[in-house]
């Protein structure tokens, strides 16, 4: 009993350590950074991650690091590629140590497998974070576009409307990206460049359409308010169509658990008594 309690405490300590390696994010601090006119101080990274950065910088894997950095940006994770590699290495070591602690008969193959599992756990976490972030952006995009459209129609300049929406809206991933876009324009980038950078960071079709519409409106000299109004209707229609598509997919997705779990139970309940009766009659 004491052995299992000790393992529980060790696992909890490892979990807390891994979680503590990620940068802390509070809504007020993020909002202040997004709407500030200067970039501010760079957030101090955890010492444990920084210890392995010189080693990871020597790795001649530019394509891997570029891909990691793009995924980190898409997931809204404030880590560099080298820091994320450090996290993967630390997670691998911790999983290996955890295996050594819980295993009574240690085998090299199982130990190597635990190291590999630990190395790829942060990738699973990052992929899940990217998916959730993109889903949240798709969910809030129509409402944010409506707010921007109303603000521009009320007489505000587009960038002033962005600033107002960022300040007064509930914080979400798309509001964060709008804040970064507004901040880029404050440090000298054109609105077109800031919009294109935002589209690259988010990397989903709905936002790409949002960026493309605004860039074309600016280039053609058409009304941004009208463009936003049309875009709002288009985005809402796309969301409705996505909902219909998911609703049509639901019966197919339910078929496998229905066949594997529910149908056997129903057959046992219905046919079980009949089979028992036949067995009794046969024995008799």
Domain spans in the chain, listed from the N-terminal domain onward:
2-19+45-136, 156-239
How is residue 223 written in tokens? 């009304």
- Check if the beta carbon of residue 232 is closer than 8 Å to that of residue 149: yes
With a cut of 50, list the residues of the chain below it in pLDDT: 2, 26-28, 35-45
pLDDT for 38 equals 41
For residue range 158-214, list pLDDT tens digits in order.
899 999 999 988 889 999 999 999 999 988 888 899 999 999 999 898 899 899 989
Distance separating alpha carbons of residues 176 and 169, to the nearest angstrom: 10
pLDDT for 211 equals 92
What's the maximum distance between 2 C-alpha atoms anywhere in the chain?
A: 94
Distance separating alpha carbons of residues 270 and 199, to the nearest angstrom: 57
Total-model pTM = 0.71
Residue owning tokens 């590699």:
85
pLDDT for 194 equals 92
pLDDT for 27 equals 47
pLDDT for 165 equals 92
Helix axes 62-74, 191-202, angle to 10 degrees: 100
Distance separating alpha carbons of residues 214 and 224, to the nearest angstrom: 7
- Check if the beta carbon of residue 172 is closer than 8 Å to that of residue 136: yes
Distance separating alpha carbons of residues 100 and 262, to the nearest angstrom: 40
What is residue 134's three-state secondary structure? Answer: helix
pLDDT for 26 equals 46
How is residue 200 written in tokens? 């690259």
């Amino acid at each position: 009993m004491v052995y299992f309690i000790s393992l529980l405490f060790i696992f909890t300590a490892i979990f807390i350590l891994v979680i503590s390696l990620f940068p802390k994010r509070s809504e007020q601090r993020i909002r202040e950074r997004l709407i500030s006119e200067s970039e501010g101080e760079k957030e101090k990274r955890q010492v444990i991650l920084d210890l392995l950065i010189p080693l990871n910088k020597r790795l001649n894997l530019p394509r891997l690091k570029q891909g990691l950095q793009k995924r980190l940006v898409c997931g809204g994770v404030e880590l560099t590629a080298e820091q994320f590699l450090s996290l993967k290495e630390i997670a691998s070591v911790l999983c290996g140590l955890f295996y050594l602690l819980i295993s009574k008969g240690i085998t090299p193959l199982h130990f190597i497998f635990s190291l590999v599992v630990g190395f790829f756990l942060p990738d699973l976490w990052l992929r899940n974070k990217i998916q959730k972030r993109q889903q949240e952006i798709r969910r809030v995009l129509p409402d944010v576009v409506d707010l921007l459209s109303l603000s521009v129609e009320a007489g505000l300049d587009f960038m002033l409307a962005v600033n107002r929406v960022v300040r007064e809206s509930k914080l979400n991933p798309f509001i964060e990206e709008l804040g970064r876009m507004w901040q880029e324009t404050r440090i000298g980038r054109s609105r077109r460049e800031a919009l294109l950078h935002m589209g690259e960071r988010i990397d989903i079709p709905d936002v790409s359409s949002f960026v493309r519409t605004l860039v074309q409106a600016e280039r053609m000299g058409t009304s941004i308010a009208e463009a936003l109004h049309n875009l709002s209707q288009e985005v809402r229609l796309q969301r409705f169509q996505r909902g219909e598509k998911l609703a049509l997919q639901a019966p197919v997705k339910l078929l496998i658990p229905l066949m594997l779990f529910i149908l056997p139970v129903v057959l046992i309940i219905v046919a079980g008594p009949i089979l028992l009766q036949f067995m009794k009659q046969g024995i008799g």
